[in-house]
Chain A
Amino acid sequence: EPEVTQTPSHQVTQMGQEVILRCVPISNHLYFYWYRQILGQKVEFLVSFYNNEISEKSEIFDDQFSVERPDGSNFTLKIRSTKLEDSAMYFCASSKRQGLNTEAFFGQGTRLTVV
């Protein structure tokens, strides 16, 4: 069964360093998302991406964050200068279509720990 895959599963980085989280969405999906979940809190939307551009972003997704689809398969989230409060599980998701009946399929997540 097709699935969203994320690498690495766990990333430890020092505060101020740049990190890139990688995702391979389901192959015939057109919409891509990043969500995060701080330990013990609910899943929060970061950004959605369609047709090689950001379609929507939350207030969390500030100038320190960027997304890119560098080739036909990968979808990345970059955090330029990590802060302690960026420590969280980051989930990539993809869906075939947007709007009504948005079924998003999630990856296993990358646990980011900023020290």
Chain B
Amino acid sequence: TQLLEQSPQFLSIQEGENLTVYCNSSSVFSSLQWYRQEPGEGPVLLVTVVTGGEVKKLKRLTFQFGDARKDSSLHITAAQPGDTGLYLCAGAYTSGSRLTFGEGTQLTVNP
């Protein structure tokens, strides 16, 4: 069974702080997506990374794909209360198209 581990599971910070969320696997991904999910709603796609070492920026969010394509990180600069939510990473392995999701990181940004 291929597993995708996210850390930390919970993160509570103050507005203006920086944070990093990690996503790790023992297997190589062909691509990896980061999603954000609000309670009772579907995951909303934030970014897709494909190439090892790739870095993508989305406003205050920076996504990095590890050189070996086994891990990824999401860094948020100057977090705001609107960033509060569940952040999910999901990997597609070379063996198929299904997405394997991590457990998620529940981020709370306090005003």
Q: Are B42 and A103 in contact (CB under 8 A)?
A: no
User: What distance in Å separates the Cβ of B13 from its nearest Cβ neighbour in chain A?
Assistant: 23
**Residue numbers in A under 8 Å from B50 (CB-CB):** 100-101
B98's contact among A42, A58, A89, by CB below 8 Å, is which?
A: A58
Q: Are B97 and A56 in contact (CB under 8 A)?
A: yes
In terms of DSSP, what is the predominant structure of the interface of chain B?
strand
Q: Are B31 and A101 in contact (CB under 8 A)?
A: yes
Q: Are A106 and B43 in contact (CB under 8 A)?
A: yes
User: What distance in Å separates the Cβ of A90 from its nearest Cβ neighbour in chain B?
Assistant: 10
A42's contact among B30, B44, B97, B101, by CB below 8 Å, is which?
A: B101
Task: Count residues on chain A whose CB falls below 8 Å from chain B CBs.
Answer: 28
B104's contact among A42, A44, A105, A111, by CB below 8 Å, is which?
A: A42
Q: Are B44 and A106 in contact (CB under 8 A)?
A: yes
Write out, one digit per residue, whether chain A residues 41-61 have a CB within 8 A of any chain B CB (1) or not (0).
011110010000001101000
How far is it, in angstroms, between the C-alpha of A74 and the C-alpha of B98 when the chains are bound? 20
Find residues 1-49 in chain A having any chain B CB closer than 8 Å to their own CB. Answer: 4, 31, 33, 35, 42-45, 48
User: What distance in Å separates the Cβ of B43 from its nearest Cβ neighbour in chain A?
Assistant: 5
Which residue, B30, B33, B35, B96, has most C-beta atoms of chain A within 10 A? Answer: B96
**Residue numbers in B under 8 Å from A4 (CB-CB):** 42
**Residue numbers in B under 8 Å from A33 (CB-CB):** 98-99
Q: Are B33 and A104 in contact (CB under 8 A)?
A: yes
User: What distance in Å separates the Cβ of A88 from its nearest Cβ neighbour in chain B?
Assistant: 13
User: What distance in Å separates the Cβ of B106 from its nearest Cβ neighbour in chain A?
Assistant: 11
Closest A residue to B49 by beta carbon equals: A101
Closest A residue to B88 by beta carbon equals: A43
Write out, one digit per residue, whether chain B residues 85-111 have a CB within 8 A of any chain A CB (1) or not (0).
000101010001111111110000000
16 new A-B contacts at CB < 8 Å, known A42-B104, A44-B101: A31-B97, A42-B88, A48-B97, A56-B96, A91-B42, A100-B50, A102-B99, A103-B45, A103-B48, A104-B33, A104-B90, A106-B35, A106-B45, A109-B40, A109-B42, A111-B40
- B interface with A by C-beta (< 8 Å): 30-31, 33, 35, 40-45, 48, 50, 88, 90, 92, 96-104
